[in-house]
Structure 1
Amino acid sequence: MNVLVVGGAGYIGSHCVRQLQAAGHRPVVLDNLVFGHRKAVAPDIPFYDGDLGDPDVVAPILKDEKIDLVMHFAAFAYVGESVTEPRKYYENNFVATLRLLETMLDEGVNKFVFSSTCATYGEPETLPMVESLPQKPINPYGQTKLDVENCLKAFAHAYGLSFAAFRYFNAAGAAEDGSIGEDHDPETHLIPLVIDAATGRRENIKIFGTDYDTPDGTCLRDYVHVDDLARAHIAVFEKLAEPGASCFYNLGTGTPNSVREIINAVEEVTGKKVPVVEADRRPGDPPALYADSSKAQAELGWEIKFTDVKDIIATAWKWHEANPDGFGD
């Protein structure tokens, strides 16, 4: 298939582009490079610099590239910023996505794969987290993702749009060959921050809260390799053949790791000591978040290749060691 990957120069999007190629599909990338990196996309892949919410940009791409399906990875995803700048998040994450969907329907493209988030659940009532849990987001980031999910359901019912929404847990790692990886500015993800502390690029790593009701007192999170995430997005294609198909899946390993476990694993993988500072809890940090991904495994045949967090960290370390300045842009 010809697949338009919106946000295809970003972290998860760029890995999905590579997985699409490996699976025999033809990816086309649209990215405004606000957070993406042109170097993350191979030169032989058609690349368009533009905004997902601009029909004058999107419509010609859909027609000229004969797009069969659109993947969307172009949301803003800083939770704290979404609280202080909600207008920015509603404009990009919801309004621009609505314009993208309208343009798709106008051009007869009716298959859509959406990068959603476990943040739509808010603080879970039970663990592990299943797709049927109540969705009660506690920040504008999670709310805008849920708003898009609800829009997709309405469009599927009214217009026959076929879609899949994947609710991620903590994406981590890098391509196994070390060619692309994680490069955010600012960086907020734990694994690259701990690696930076190990290499001296930052002074230390802070542990926010050491008195949670968890085995070692620090928060538990579900880390899933970025290539495992990408493979699930491709595995869902067959589910979208029927007009109006509506698919929701959690993506995580189901095996959480604590902050201390991540720090210890980084030390083991890198052979370097990580300086640690213990700090107070951050407001709104649940003690544990981890997925039940059995639905994706059963319905899509999705297999988790990276089941050990040390293997995930090893791929991240390979990228960061070779590219201490990321993509250098």
Structure 2
Amino acid sequence: MKQKVLVTGGAGYIGSHVVRQLGEAGYDVVVYDNLSTGSPKSVLYGQLIIGDLANQDQLYQVFAQHQFSAVLHFAASLSVPESVEHPLDYYANNTRNTLNLLRCCSVMGVNRFIFSSTAAVYGEVAQNPVTENSPTQPINPYGRSKLMSEWIIQDYAAASSLHYVILRYFNVAGADPNGKIGQLSRKASHLIKAACDTAIARIPKLQIFGDDFPTPDGTGIRDYIHVEDLASAHLDALRYLQKGGESQIFNCGYAKGYSVREVIARVKAISGVDFPVVVTPRRPGDPACVTACADKINQLLDWQPKYNDLDQIVSTTLAWEMQQ
């Protein structure tokens, strides 16, 4: 019998890659998405139900109609600058809606939960790479809304039979190497996508948000992870929970940081386009440098990244954007 899983936000960028891998692995998938940033054409497997996590009545109906063995929760707002401007929206969509989802899991007896979290929970870190035991001191509402969700999950698990895996993502980029799916949201502000958009003249110039950080070239340093490797981490986490694994938190990154200027240089080299770049002031809530220690997920889940290479990340992003 196929395992049936619920994927919230499964029509979005990361969720859709996980849905594709779940489908290819033989899972029965139900996607629940309000399509605020996702697209139906990104859902290549399973059933798509259009709905919002704020609508608890609809959510309960979905749980009642299906016998889910696990929930994978991606649905969230994820722009740091937007969270600074609209914090209440972020606490509503990210924190309250996670609570709504957990209530359904509680009532319907679903006791495996995989949560899409973020490295933003660490804030301005004192030492890189960060481990799962590093202090969590988020410096923006996005990171705080996610950390609050983590606390809710942990508190509920302590009082119930819920087993969870929390995956703290670093900077996700890239696209399906076969060109089936990729980043579709036009609002996306991720550096690699924005640089590729500039290389193909979709936008006129690329902005660097601050060149006065305490880093070697003055620009922010981030750990970039290919979306395909991140998706495979979710399948590894699901199998781990299905085998009776204990609740865990894992970093998802490569333990290698690249500055904004280094990323731009690779996009220019791979695209062959010397596009214009302008420096603007720092954005509120941006830390100087964050990279991941991923030893724990490598050891406990035997997670084996296949696309651990900045050029592959850039190349698959560029190929995807060129066909849009």
TM > 0.5 fold call = yes
The residue number in structure 1 matching 2:204 is 203
- Paired residues of 1:69 and 1:109 also in contact (CA < 8 A): yes
Query: Is 2:139 the counterpart of 1:126?
Result: no
Q: After the TM superposition, which of the residue ranges 268-277 and 243-252 deviates more from structure 2?
A: 243-252
User: 2:229 is matched with which residue?
Assistant: 228
Pairing of 1:271-290 with structure 2 (within 5 A): 271-290=272-291
Counterpart in the other structure of 1:2: 4
* Equivalent position amino acid for 1:317 in 2: L
Shift of 1:242: 7.5
Amino acid at match of 2:75: A
Partner of 1:19, secondary structure, is helix
Counterpart code for 1:124: V
Measured in 1, the distance between the counterparts of 2:226 and 2:270 equals 16
Pairing of 1:3-82 with structure 2 (within 5 A):
3-42=5-44, 45-82=46-83
Distance in 2, matches of 1:99 and 1:209, equals 38
Partners of 2:192 and 2:215 lie apart in 1 by 20
Unaligned stretches of 5+ residues in structure 1: 324-329
Output the amino acid matched with 1:8.
G
Per-residue CA deviations over 1:160-188 (Å, capped at 9, x if unaligned) read 11111100000000011111111223221
Would you say the 8 A contact 1:119–1:142 is kept in 2? yes
2 CA distance for matches of 1:23 and 1:292?
Answer: 28
The CA deviation at 1:23 is: 2.0
CA distance in 2, matches of 1:4, 1:281: 38
Aligned to 1:251: 252
Q: Are the aligned partners of 1:161 and 1:243 in contact in 2 as well (CA < 8 Å)?
A: no
One-letter code of the match for 1:19?
Q
Deviates more, 1:218-227 or 1:82-91: 82-91
Q: Output the amino acid matched with 1:35.
A: T
Structure 2: distance between partners of 1:156 and 1:258: 38
Q: 3-state SS of the aligned residue for 2:275?
A: coil
- The residue number in structure 2 matching 1:326 is none
Letter in 2 for 1:17: V
* C-alpha displacement of 1:240: 2.2
Deviations 1:135-194 (A, max 9, x none): 111111111111111111111111111111100000000011111111223221001111
Displacement of 1:266: 1.0
| Deviation by residue 1:72-102 (Cα, 9 ceiling, x = unmatched) | 1101111122222222111111111111110
Which range moves more in the overlay, 18-27 or 212-221?
A: 212-221
Shift of 1:128: 0.4
Structure 2: gaps spanning 5 or more residues = none
Aligned mates of 1:34, 1:284 — CA distance in 2: 24
CA distance in 1, matches of 2:118, 2:147: 9
Amino acid at match of 1:13: G
How far 1:134 sits from its partner (Å)? 0.9
TM-score (norm 1): 0.93
CA distance in 1, matches of 2:219, 2:85: 27
Q: Report the TM-score when normalising by structure 2.
A: 0.95
- Deviation at residue 113 of structure 1 after TM alignment: 0.4
Query: One-letter code of the match for 2:190?
Result: H
**Partners of 1:162 and 1:242 within 8 A in 2:** no
Amino acid at match of 2:94: N
